[in-house]
Amino acid sequence: TRGAAGQREIGFDWPPALAARAAWPVGATTAAARVAWSDGAEGGVSASLGGGTHHANAGQGSGYCVFNDVAVAARLMQAEWHRRRRALLQVAVIDLDVHQGNGTAAIFADDDTVFTFSMHGERNFPFRKSPSDLDVGLPDGCTDDVYLDALRPALATVWQRLAARPPGLVFYVAGADPHEGDRLGRLKLTTAGLAARDEIVLDALRERRIPAVVLMAGGYGHVVDTTVDVHLQTLRIAQRAQAAWARASTA
């Protein structure tokens, strides 16, 4: 149970059914992770309609996030991988939600088996940020060109730093909230710019044959349909990436 302060930190009241409801995205992300790194042509890219609850810490929810689905799924996949293969599964988190993934960063601080990368609005929530392995803070009003010009070298840095321990699984926390129509985002990306973002990330993962779990994360559009459209666009791009992965697996 959580008192009033804990509920304020999460951002909403704590009715009795909330814990069960909040566990569903954790299960969905874990199921998607199992699909992504399964052996054979069916593996590659998977997605969950929920997930990306990256503000939740190990002992406290925050920022509309009760449980950190990425952290739970990463640990479960590492345990399952070790049981099956007696080997260590390296994991990476690419978090492009407009808000920094402070909970994920804090949970995996000083853990060299999980690499955390967050690119986010520097002046946006959370105002006390837990350091990721790599953080890129963006100015308010950031447009497509500025954003993508920051993303490409940041990803190059990620691959360089992971060269000695390449990940066997990546969680891609996409987020619709960098969109120009988002109430909380403070950035100015277009729908086309977010499509380019998703393609850059998923093409890089597919080229490196790194299984990926795509998560929707945040989105708070003035027009709800715009947020839905951005999330659906991410899913379509993930679907194309999976189709390309499957073709390469059977070639």
- Tokens for 216? 């929707």
CB 160: neighbour CB atoms within 10 A? 9
Question: What's the rounded mean pLDDT across residues 60-86?
Answer: 90
Distance between CA 99 and CA 105 in Å, rounded?
Answer: 12
Going by pLDDT thresholds of 50, 70 and 90, the confidence category of residue 5 is low
CA dist., res. 32 & res. 14, Å (int): 27
CA-to-CA distance for 247 and 251, rounded, in angstroms? 6
Query: What is the domain extent for residue 185?
Result: 4-250
| Amino acid, res. 236 | R
Element spanning 120, H or E: strand 114-121
Residue 40 has pLDDT above 70, yes or no: no
Of all residues in the chain, what percent carry a pLDDT higher than 90?
A: 77
Q: How many whole angstroms separate alpha carbon 97 and alpha carbon 5? A: 25
- Angle at the Cα of 112 from the Cα atoms of 173 and 38, rounded to 5 degrees: 55
- CATH code, 31: 3.40.800.20
Q: Which helix (H) or strand (E) holds 104?
A: helix 102-107
Q: Which pLDDT belongs to residue 37?
A: 84
Query: Looking at the 3D structure of the chain, how many domains does it have?
Result: 1
